[in-house]
Each structure stands twice: as C-alpha cells, then as structure tokens.
Amino acid sequence: MFATTRPPRPRLTGRIFAYALVDVFGLFCVALGASWFASGKGAILANFPTSTVEAVASTLGGTVLMLWSAARILREIAKQAPEMQARYDAYIAAHHPDKVRRPDAE
C-alpha cells in the first residue's frame, strides 16, 4: 500500500457514484418545486411545474429521493468501515506513533 499524508477517506465506488447522481436529481426536483413557490411559475423549466400540485409533488418527490440516496450512500460507506479502520490505524502508526491504540488498553 502507499503512504499517505492525510487520514484515509472512503473509496468512491460505482454504487456510491450512482446514488450521488440520484441525490443530485432529487435536489433538482426540489429546486423545480421550490422555484414555483418562489415565483408562482416554473422558473427553471418554462413548462414545469404549472400548478401547486405539481410543485408539491416535485418538492416531496425530490426530498424522498435525496433522503433515500443519502441513506444508501451512508450504507455503502459503512461497508468500507473495516478497510478504513485498518488504513487509519496504519496512518496513525506512521504519522503519530505516540497515539497508536494498544490492544490491551481496550
């Protein structure tokens, strides 16, 4: 493995990237709905939303998508926990040897 000068971060996987795209789409849907509430007409897209029902549906649907995708991203990151803990322990041992966790201290 390579040496790093910063603490390890989660890896970007295909699933995390796909969920992030869903999250961005959800944010766009929220923005569409909110733009209608702010201006009374579709401010981002000319023909959508055209009514309060469409604006509410867009806002609520986007919020649901964002919450769902954020939960999935957190689940995918949690799957990387053992690998990240090992990388973090290696980082601490290399850069802060005085702070290494001792197995007998736990």
CB atoms within 10 A of CB 58: 22
Average pLDDT for 41-53: 88
Residues 6+ apart with CB under 8 A from 33: 49, 54, 55, 56, 57, 58, 59, 60, 62
- Would you kindly state where each structural domain of the chain is located, as residue ranges? 14-96
pTM assigned to the model: 0.76
pLDDT at residue 3 tops 90:
no
Average pLDDT for 13-27: 97
Average pLDDT for 24-33: 96
pLDDT at residue 73 tops 80:
yes
* DSSP per-residue string spanning 1-30: ----SS-------HHHHHHHHHHHHHHHHH
